[in-house]
Structure 1
Amino acid sequence: MTLWTAAEIAAATHGTASADFAVGGVAFDSREVGPGDLFVALTGETTDGHRFVDQAFAQGAAGALVSRAVDHPVVEVADTFAALEDLGRAARARVKGKVIGVTGSVGKTSTKEALFAALDRAPSVSAHRSVKSYNNHTGVPLSLARMPQGSDYAVLEMGMNHPGELAHLTTLVRPHVALVTAIAPAHTEFFPHEAAIADAKGEIFRGLEPGGVAIVPYDSPHRDRLIAAAEPYAARIVTFGLDRAADVSAIEIARANHGGTFVTARIGEHELSLTVAQPGAHWVSNALAVLAAVDAVGGDLALAGLALAELGGLAGRGARSEIAVGDGHALLIDESYNANPASVAATLAVLAEQPGRHVAILGEMRELGTKSADYHAGLAPAVVAARVEVAVLVGEAMRPLAQALEGRVDFVHVPDAAAALDHVHRVIAPGDAVLVKGSNGVGLARVVAGLAGGKK
């Protein structure tokens, strides 16, 4: 399928095509380039994508977006980053389907994936989404540039760690529906208080298309702040949450036999009973947000319920697997991609519900600023409540939690992921439930791979 022709790329980016070509995909990481892709040679502070143009074509690239002449079929522009944004704008302009923007301190990637699954399930519907966590100043325009012209729905994730970032990204996405999943302490190194985080997340509403819908978490202490941020831009504001006063709420919640949750939800005047496959109260909230967004774009709520019932965990964000341990098996819960105080507490609550001995491998939480020590120490009650019998604390920032757990939980404090994996290999036993959770920079994905049979 042709996504872009050289002429279309040149027109969108104000560039000059050296040859006629057509591409079926877009990538700016040369390692991700596949046959028929457009390679965007971005230039940054530490690297220059032009060094990898030959590699990209060796891997099958059909064309490249460059800012200097190379001996391949290309579109040459003055600035490849600006050109990528222009290509994203052009992609957004030609799509006639409904676009949903998703942000939040926690749950945005999981909610984005669940929402995509809910919309993509309908027959003869073409849905598009951001892949991985491509949600920043380069990831958002890339996700837009990859969007097929005939998309009926697009679900695009937007993230930020500074004020003003979402205000720009939302003007690229121009969502018909803007959803905030939750507000929690994250990137607090760059914000004076949590209310400032809410303000920064509320910037997503500024890009709403005329007649657009804002979706706000009712249970958040920042609900009214988010509603106030949405009011100048949204034609309609919809709340979701566990509280029955929310527009989309949970009337009934019961734990399902397989570990998920049975929910009866009220969506406006409608009721829907469904099973949320992923365990935990935070996933009930995510599911309600999904139903609110599906309803806002006129999607099929029944099919959305089926999608939520079948949704598997994402690698790094709740994926579950049985791993071989001795002459038996243990349950591995992979939450290695990211961590902040709210998400760690939520996943510890999920661990608490699992049978067997509870093992928690917890990596430090980053970008928490001057309150980092307090946030780390503040995890102690959640660790104790989860009945953690063995805790492996990873990274120097975990020292305050180690001190808070003295005499309460059996733990070891190690400097890095390699040391954590070595220790866990020595203590893990058949029947254990093992949670791996930490900020991505800690590298706990290595622990997950090692436990699952990869390299130590």
Structure 2
Amino acid sequence: MRGGTGGRRTVNALAHTLRWPRAASDDTRLALWTADEIAAATGGTASGAFQVSGVEMDSRDVQAGDLFVALKGEAMDGHRFLDAAFRNGAAAAIVDRPVDYPHVLVADTGKALHALAAAARARVTARIVGVTGSVGKTGVKEAIFTALERTSRGATHRSVRSYNNHVGVPLSLSRMPPRSRYGVFEMGMNHANEIRGLTTQVKPHVAVITTIAPAHIENLGSMEAIADAKAEIFDGLQKGGTAVIPADSEHFEQLRDAALAHGARVLSFGRKPHADMRLLDAIPQANGGALVTASMGTIGLCYTVSEPGEHWIDNSLCVMAAVHAAGGDLGAAGLALAEMGGLKGRGARFRVAAPGGHALLIDESYNANPASMRATLQQLGQTPASRRIAVLGSMKELGDFAPAFHAQLLEPVTAAKVDYAVLVGEEMTALAREMGKAHTESLGNAPQFAHCANAGEAIAALQEYGLTGGDAVLVKGSNSVGLARVVDHFTARTS
């Protein structure tokens, strides 16, 4: 750049950053909670003055400065772990009996956690995004967080892991700093009316439904009932809020009407012509991701999605719509999608040492339902490999629908050109039966397979088959099947 004297000017990036305009929240105290604030929020009595920097309910996860909430359940009492919590650095605890540590004494620690969550939500001016859906909610939540975090100067908060239930949501809310500019919270359910109880705590300005699929159909009975249960997220939507919903879903009208009934602005995403955030083109990239072109009204978007699979193209549209609705920066969102890596149990990829080089292991061990099984098997089929191996665990909470849904996996397994399948769990009997028939009828051209009772047997089956360089291995199943053990076993030799 030419200066007035013809010399060169240099821009000091650090100095420019330090001159970033101040926000009102910059003057907010850094401590998460003081003793007086906790006592006022919970109606309890503080043992003395203290400050805490975090909130935790598991003594094993406590870090220095945390507030330990001694929750009581049917089989466990957190008060038994007070010594461990304070050994790990807890600054104070919420308890229902006097103790010799700094504390706030309350009548009921569970109710106190909910009260603290309500106080945390009430004191922030942040834009809040709530995320639910049958498939992809954790990945979408993480992507929205990463997108908003890029431009919020570290002032974006989210629920960690899959803290999306009646304990995880209030815990995540209670951890939200008063300086937050954005908050992103995941909400899950197994039964009707569960999301209603969560969304009324979160009070989102943007309510996101990723997709509707037959997860938890055992408890809900029909796809329509699942859509109704997910639409409960609109019950907590703030006045003038936005509902982000999938335009491609056969339940689009059901979700749209539910959102409109709550006075929401509806912003849809997908591939259909009526989608507000609409996919125009997606070009596969060498790393398995895609270069995406999309439009939203007069806004044109072109960005890279690093995560592989067609489902992540759809997820990216959902993320873009949510970020726009929250008032975030779409350019920053595009950069975030280009840089994201897979989450443990939800798409993380590992290079595993094997004879002749390395095998690729795709970790999808945390969750599974018919829709996500098909999506990840399709992804496996598109992954360059000398051999494709699928370790598939039972899909839980399908009830009477389970045999049919498991048997129907034969088609995506075959389409993915799987060379060897390891089926794990009793529910996989239906797929094993179909594979046996296909193997006989096709005179040996169907995938080889083994049916195992548990993760230990699956490890043995894989070891007997033998991984070689160039293999691609998908590990996918409901969390309770325990296939993370398979991932841990083989990634112990990653490089």
1:73 aligns with 2:102: yes
For 1:301 and 1:288, locate their aligned partners in 2 and report how far apart those are by CA, in whole Å: 11
Q: Map Cα deviations across residues 186-232 of structure 1 (whole Å, 9 max, x no partner).
A: 11110110110000000000101111001110000111111111112
Name the SS for the 1:282 alignment partner: helix
Change over 3 Å in CA distance of 1:206–1:123 after alignment to 2: closer
**What stretches of structure 1 of length at least 5 have no aligned partner?**
none
Partner residue of 1:103? 132
Q: Map Cα deviations across residues 345-375 of structure 1 (whole Å, 9 max, x no partner).
A: 1000000011221000000011111111111
1:375 aligns with 2:405: yes
Q: Map Cα deviations across residues 128-160 of structure 1 (whole Å, 9 max, x no partner).
A: 110000000000000000000011111100000
1:269 aligns with 2:298: yes
Q: Map Cα deviations across residues 266-314 of structure 1 (whole Å, 9 max, x no partner).
A: 1232011011100111101110011001111111101100110111000
Partner residue of 2:476? 437
1:448 aligns with 2:487: yes
For 1:304 and 1:295, locate their aligned partners in 2 and report how far apart those are by CA, in whole Å: 9
Q: Map Cα deviations across residues 90-112 of structure 1 (whole Å, 9 max, x no partner).
A: 00001101000000000000000
Name the SS for the 2:419 alignment partner: strand
| TM norm structure 2 | 0.91
Partner residue of 2:50? 21
Deviation, structure 1 residue 67: 1.2
1:135 aligns with 2:161: no
Contact 2:277–2:294, Cα closer than 8 Å, also in 1:
yes
Partner residue of 2:19? none
1:48 aligns with 2:77: yes
- RMSD, aligned α-carbons: 1.1
1:349 aligns with 2:378: yes
Contact 2:135–2:211, Cα closer than 8 Å, also in 1:
yes
Partner residue of 2:193? 164
Partner residue of 1:422? 460
Deviation, structure 1 residue 175: 0.2
Contact 2:217–2:223, Cα closer than 8 Å, also in 1:
yes
Q: Map Cα deviations across residues 112-134 of structure 1 (whole Å, 9 max, x no partner).
A: 00000111011535111100000
Name the SS for the 1:93 alignment partner: helix
1:191 aligns with 2:184: no
**What stretches of structure 2 of length at least 5 have no aligned partner?**
1-29, 440-445
For 1:199 and 1:281, locate their aligned partners in 2 and report how far apart those are by CA, in whole Å: 26
For 1:393 and 1:66, locate their aligned partners in 2 and report how far apart those are by CA, in whole Å: 46
For 1:159 and 1:454, locate their aligned partners in 2 and report how far apart those are by CA, in whole Å: 34
Change over 3 Å in CA distance of 1:156–1:123 after alignment to 2: closer
Partner residue of 2:155? 126
Moved more, 66-75 or 105-114: 66-75
Q: Which amino acid aligns with 2:447?
A: V
For 2:155 and 2:162, locate their aligned partners in 1 and report how far apart those are by CA, in whole Å: 21
Q: 5 Å matches for 1:24-423?
A: 24-122=53-151, 124=153, 126-356=155-385, 357-406=387-436, 407=439, 408-423=446-461
Name the SS for the 2:293 alignment partner: strand
For 2:150 and 2:383, locate their aligned partners in 1 and report how far apart those are by CA, in whole Å: 30
For 1:361 and 1:290, locate their aligned partners in 2 and report how far apart those are by CA, in whole Å: 29
For 1:243 and 1:18, locate their aligned partners in 2 and report how far apart those are by CA, in whole Å: 59
Change over 3 Å in CA distance of 1:85–1:344 after alignment to 2: same
Contact 1:254–1:263, Cα closer than 8 Å, also in 2:
yes
For 2:297 and 2:101, locate their aligned partners in 1 and report how far apart those are by CA, in whole Å: 55
Q: Which amino acid aligns with 1:326?
A: P
Structure showing greater Rg? 2
For 1:178 and 1:284, locate their aligned partners in 2 and report how far apart those are by CA, in whole Å: 20
Deviation, structure 1 residue 326: 2.4
Deviation, structure 1 residue 327: 4.0
Deviation, structure 1 residue 183: 0.4
For 1:275 and 1:138, locate their aligned partners in 2 and report how far apart those are by CA, in whole Å: 36
Q: Which amino acid aligns with 1:220?
A: S
Q: Map Cα deviations across residues 7-35 of structure 1 (whole Å, 9 max, x no partner).
A: 10111011111121111001101111010
Moved more, 344-353 or 69-78: 69-78
Deviation, structure 1 residue 254: 1.1
| TM norm structure 1 | 0.98
For 2:62 and 2:297, locate their aligned partners in 1 and report how far apart those are by CA, in whole Å: 44
For 2:296 and 2:108, locate their aligned partners in 1 and report how far apart those are by CA, in whole Å: 46
Name the SS for the 1:199 alignment partner: helix
1:12 to 26, 29, 41: 41
For 2:76 and 2:369, locate their aligned partners in 1 and report how far apart those are by CA, in whole Å: 30
Q: Which amino acid aligns with 1:395?
A: G
Name the SS for the 2:261 alignment partner: coil
